[in-house]
């Protein structure tokens, strides 16, 4: 059978439809390529542009968006995970060391020390509200010449818990002290600790109706006649000993 080479009307329309569809597809491809993100060169190889089809997931702009989200998420996780465990631990240790160092210094600076007289000698006494008992070091007892007055601990005081885990080795009674112009008669537990030669505990402080005025830096004490006793610095207290 021979054809004249002249297309019929329906055949010409089919060709036009196919050409129009091909043109639209080319335009969509150009638009998709122009949608590339500024960082898309790192996110999508050129081979990825060949992966085209009818599915939305395989369109270039969807591929780019997906790759971009995955990359940003991985960067976020990487940046968060790179410092959190190790650096946080290091910062915590550094903070703890700073606190420990500052706490020791603060403890020394916050000692309340007053000057008094005992056995005719000057004595610097620490006001220790953390202990029930008056405490005297064995070195201070010897310096005051009161070593012969040392007695064994009563049974009820052998298991007494003292601050800073110091151990009582005996007891001295009938101590006569003068704080300012206020006479003080008291007893003290003797400990093997020379850091604080003597300290007033709560029992004696209560009996003297002691008031600690941190604003004015003095004690107010005395059962009858009240007197203000100024604090002395820890440096002068160490020098006095």
Instruction: From 110, 127, 145, give the residue that closes a domain.
Output: 110
The whole-number average pLDDT for the span 163-178 is 88
Residue range(s) defining the domain that contains residue 220 = 113-240
Residue 236 lies in a domain: yes
166 and 84 both lie in a single domain: no
Same domain, 117 and 231: yes
Q: Give burial (CB, 10 Å; 0-12/13-18/19+) of 107.
A: exposed
Q: Give the N- to C-terminal CA distance of the chain in Å, as an integer.
A: 134
Pair (71, 93) in one structural domain: yes
Residue 229 lies in a domain: yes
Residue 59 has pLDDT above 60, yes or no: no
Most confident range, picked from 152-161, 187-196, 211-220: 211-220
pLDDT band at 219 (very low <50, low <70, confident <90, very high): very high
Q: Identify the bridge partners of residue 114 per DSSP, sorted by sequence position.
A: 125
Q: Is 240 helix (H, G, I), strand (E, B) or coil?
A: helix
The arithmetic mean of pLDDT across residues 94-113, rounded, is 57
Q: What is the pLDDT at residue 28?
A: 76
Give yes or no: residues 99 and 125 share one domain. no
Structure tokens at 96: 């703890």
User: What percentage of residues in the chain have a pLDDT greater than 90?
Assistant: 37
Residue 196's nearest CA partner among 146, 134, 147, 153 is 134
Q: Is residue 1 a part of any domain in this protein? A: no
Do residues 232 and 118 share a domain? yes
Decide which of 110, 136, 151 is a domain's last residue.
110
Residue 69 pLDDT more than 70? yes
Residue 189 lies in a domain: yes
Q: What b/e readout covers 143-162, taking b as 16+ CB neighbours within 10 angstroms?
A: bbebeebbeeeeeeeeeeeb
Q: Assess whether 29 and 51 both reside in one domain.
A: yes
Q: What is the pLDDT of residues 171-183, one digit of tens each?
A: 999 999 999 999 9
Q: Which range, 42-46, 101-105, 179-183, 237-241, has the best average confidence (pLDDT)?
A: 179-183
**Residue 3 forms part of a structural domain:** no
Q: Is residue 58 part of a domain?
A: yes
| pLDDT (0 to 100) of residue 77 | 64
Q: For 30-50, write each residue's pLDDT tens digit.
A: 766 555 544 454 455 555 545
Q: Are residues 92 and 150 in the same domain?
A: no
Give the list of residues 6+ apart from residue 108 with CB closer than 8 angstroms, or none.
234
Instruction: Please state the domain count of the chain.
Output: 2
Evaluate whether residue 78 is within a structural domain: yes
Query: Based on the domain organization, do 79 and 139 belong to the same domain?
Result: no
* Model pLDDT, residue 153: 86
Last residue of a domain, one of 91, 110, 129: 110
pTM above 0.75, yes or no: no
pLDDT for residue 127: 95
In a domain, residue 2? The reply is no
The answer to whether residues 121 and 69 belong to one domain is no
Q: Let me know whether 129 and 54 are in one domain.
A: no
d(CA 32, CA 37): 11
pLDDT for 60 beyond 50: yes
The pLDDT score that the predictor gives to residue 107 is 46
Residues 105 and 23 in one domain: yes
pLDDT at 78 over 60: yes
Helices 9-34 & 60-109, crossing angle to 10 degrees? 20
pLDDT tens-digit series, residues 117-145: 999 999 999 999 989 999 999 999 999 99
Residues 137, 232, single domain; the answer is yes
């Amino acid at each position: 059978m021979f054809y004249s080479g002249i297309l019929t009307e329906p055949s010409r329309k089919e060709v036009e439809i196919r050409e129009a569809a091909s043109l639209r597809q080319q335009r969509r491809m150009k638009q998709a390529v122009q949608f590339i993100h500024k960082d898309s060169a790192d996110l999508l190889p050129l081979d990825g542009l060949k992966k085209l089809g009818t599915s939305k997931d395989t369109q270039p702009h969807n591929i780019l968006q997906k790759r971009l989200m995955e990359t940003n998420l991985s960067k976020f996780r990487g940046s968060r995970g790179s410092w959190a465990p190790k650096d946080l631990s290091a910062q915590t240790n550094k903070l703890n060391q700073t606190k420990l160092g500052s706490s020791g210094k603060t403890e020394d600076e916050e000692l309340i020390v007053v000057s008094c007289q005992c056995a005719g000698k000057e004595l610097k006494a620490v006001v220790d509200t953390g202990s029930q008992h008056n405490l005297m070091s064995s070195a201070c007892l010897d310096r005051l010449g009161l070593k012969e007055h040392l007695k064994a601990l009563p049974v009820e005081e052998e298991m007494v818990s003292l601050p800073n885990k110091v151990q009582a080795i005996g007891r001295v009674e009938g101590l006569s002290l003068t704080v300012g112009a206020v006479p003080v008669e008291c007893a003290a537990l003797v400990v093997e600790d020379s850091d604080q030669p003597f300290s007033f505990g709560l029992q004696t402080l209560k009996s003297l109706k002691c008031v600690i005025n941190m604003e004015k830096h003095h004690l107010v004490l005395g059962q009858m006649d009240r007197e203000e006793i100024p604090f002395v610095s820890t440096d002068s207290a160490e020098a006095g000993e």
